[in-house]
Structure 1
Amino acid sequence: MSTALPPTGAGRPADWATDPYANALRSGRGPLYLRRSDGWLLPLDVERWCAEADAADLSAVRRCEGAVLDIGCGPGRLVAALAGRGHRALGIDVSEAAVAHTQRLGRTALRRCVFDEVPGEGTWGTALLLDGNIGIGGDPGALLARIAALLVPGGLLVAETAPHDVDEHVRVRLDDGRGPDASAGHFPWARVGTPALLRHARAHGWRIADQWEADGRPFVALRRERTARTASSSAESAKSPAVIRSQLPRNLSGDIPLAEA
């Protein structure tokens, strides 16, 4: 199991761990925005993130297969919904406040960047990228390549896309509407509509499995093309559950979800 790093220049979205985001999650409401360097604001729907999964969320949850990795899980509504439907699910997020909120729901979450080492690499049945998280790292192609390494061969990615035909790669910072925050630095982000995501997907060995819209929110399900596995990779995979479990924090015991065979 290797540790994959973000592409050169992409950085890590460490600023999601700063006060504007943490404060919004603790209060359960905004305002909270992503602000581009030119002043343009993208509102973030904190109230919806902190509520229970809605009908649009559940349209994505119903399509999940096997064990599910929720990337950028936020306060954990999707992890809770997945568990309620019988999935073994893990949320990862760079925000300590988000992970703590998810754990208070009685669900499993780790403070982790997707480009760092993730438990169960190569064993997840489905990865979720909702709420704009296709933008993580500012490079959708690199993110798709990373997720391919996390899934089982033929695994599923369920992603929410931007509601417009956009393929934007920018630097943003978190803004709570109260003026500049010296602690909130800029970090790379992407906004990707469905046509752009499909172009990135084809270039990285994914095929479309489904496409739909719910409550004005567009979604895409992508399936990673199955590839032949070498003997060495199969042997490494056979050893991975023991390695994964040995690396878990003690308070999570053995409950990290591994994909069903």
Structure 2
Amino acid sequence: MCYGVVFGKEVQDDGKLGSNLGTASVSQYRGLIFLGGFSYADTLGSAKGWAANILHNSILLPQFQAFKRREDVFSLGICNGCQLMTLIGFVGCLGSEVGVDPDVALLHNRSERFECRWATVKIPSNRSVMLRCMKDLILGCWVAHGEGRFAFREEKLISVLQSAELVTLQYVDDTGEPTELYPLNPNGSPRGIAGLCSTDGRHLGLMPHPERCSAMNQWPYVPPSFEVSPKQAESPWQIMFNNAYNWCVN
């Protein structure tokens, strides 16, 4: 299983798939990126096979538990990676342990369809180190998922997470207000929730795909009121990736 991009250590790759299997440790890295892309084709449910590969592995589980407790690391999960992060306890919980029974899950879209579309999201006030300086931005973003609806064991947990500024992204309507109305909200997530972060802000899970629109030429639509220079190559989403780099080096 590939855990994506790593930060903070030079890693040599000889080009052979799985060549580092059993030789690398999560402790070597400053950052982990849990990629989107349907692990195990989601035939076992949203990222459940991927999560089981960590939670029931005597070698991997202690590594992820130690990584979550470290204060000099970060992680990002996109789409399938976001599903994974809720299942292993990186986001969606107020504690710091990995492997506890999760209070948050990602369920099938209420439309009962795979939704691939350009959606509008807002970044509320939150603790994420990757989304710092991006509060109140309303941006277009790609979504592509069949199981993207956040579900909570207890409804009161939603208010707790919002009060703690752990909700990082919300689907919004044309007035910029969080919505559950389809198709503006592609999956029916309560209060338009589309992303969560950990209490320390270092771990971030997002269902939409900002990495697919970090450049302006990846945007299918730009509102007339959206101020952007014709020569501007990067979109505002690039800020979050720059933030991750700057957080590591500083």
Q: TM-score, normalised by structure 2?
A: 0.28
Structure with greater strand share of residues: 1
Structure with greater helix share of residues: 1
| Higher relative contact order structure (alpha carbons within 8 Å, sequence separation ≥ 6) | 1
Q: TM-score, normalised by structure 1?
A: 0.27
